[in-house]
Amino acid sequence: MLHFEGLLSQNKMTIGQKLLHLHWLFVVLLILTACIGFAMLYSAGGGNLDPWASRQMVRFGVGLIGMVVVALTDLRLWLRYAYAFYFIMLAMLVAVEVAGFVGMGAQRWISFGLFNVQPSEFMKAALVVALARYFHGGSLEDVGRPMFLVPPILMVAAPAFLILRQPDLGTTLMIVMASLAMFFVAGVHMWKFVTLGILGLVSAPVAWFTLLREYQKQRILTFINPESDTLGSGYHIIQSKIALGSGGMFGKGFMQGTQSHLNFLPEKQTDFIFTMLAEELGLVGGLVLIALYTLLLVYGLSISLSSRNHFGRLVGIGVTMTFFLYVFINIAMVMGLIPVVGVPLPLVSYGGTAMLTILFGFGLLLCVHIHRDQTIGRRDSGDEM
Predicted confidence band of residue 9 (pLDDT cuts 50, 70, 90):
very low
Three-state SS for 108?
strand
Predicted confidence band of residue 160 (pLDDT cuts 50, 70, 90):
very high
Contact between residue 243 and residue 274 where contact means Cβ atoms under 8 Å apart: no
- Asked if residue 10 has pLDDT above 60, the reply is no
The pLDDT of residue 106 is: 60
H or E element in which residue 10 lies: helix 2-11
Rounded Cα–Cα distance for residues 155 and 4 (Å) = 36
Question: 344: cis peptide before it, omega within 30°?
Answer: no
More confident residue, 5 or 170: 170
Q: What is the mean predicted confidence (pLDDT) over 369-376?
A: 88
How many other C-beta atoms can be found within 10 angstroms of the C-beta atom of residue 77? 13
Phi, then psi, of 236 in degrees rounded to 5: -60, -55
Cross-strand partners of 116: 111
Best CA proximity match to 369, nearest among 306, 293, 298: 306
User: What is the residue-averaged pLDDT of the chain?
Assistant: 86
More confident residue, 26 or 226: 26
Between β-strands 106-111 and 101-103, what pairing exists: parallel, antiparallel or unpaired? antiparallel
Break the chain into its structural domains and give their ranges: 2-370
Predicted confidence band of residue 1 (pLDDT cuts 50, 70, 90):
very low
Largest CA-CA distance found in the chain, in angstroms, rounded: 71
With pLDDT > 90 as the criterion, what percentage of the chain qualifies?
Answer: 50
The pLDDT of residue 77 is: 93
The pLDDT of residue 306 is: 93
Contact between residue 273 and residue 36 where contact means Cβ atoms under 8 Å apart: no
Rounded Cα–Cα distance for residues 98 and 8 (Å) = 48
Rounded Cα–Cα distance for residues 325 and 346 (Å) = 10
The pLDDT of residue 378 is: 67
The pLDDT of residue 102 is: 60
- Asked if residue 31 has pLDDT above 70, the reply is yes
Q: b/e per residue, 337-370, with b = 16+ CB within 10 A?
A: ebbbbbbbbbbbbbbbbbbbbbbbbbbbbbbbbb
Rounded Cα–Cα distance for residues 353 and 100 (Å) = 15
The pLDDT of residue 337 is: 86
Q: How far is CA 245 from CA 36, 104, 223, in A?
A: 20, 29, 18
Best CA proximity match to 364, nearest among 137, 131, 161: 131
The pLDDT of residue 87 is: 96
The pLDDT of residue 382 is: 47
The pLDDT of residue 353 is: 84
The pLDDT of residue 22 is: 92
The pLDDT of residue 331 is: 94
Predicted confidence band of residue 360 (pLDDT cuts 50, 70, 90):
very high
The pLDDT of residue 6 is: 42
The pLDDT of residue 8 is: 41
Best CA proximity match to 170, nearest among 131, 141, 213, 135: 213
Cross-strand partners of 102: 107
Spatial neighbors of 192 by CB under 8 A, at least 6 apart, are: 149
> Which range is least confidently modeled, 92-101, 220-229, 243-252?
220-229
Q: What is the mean predicted confidence (pLDDT) over 325-341?
A: 89
Cross-strand partners of 101: 109
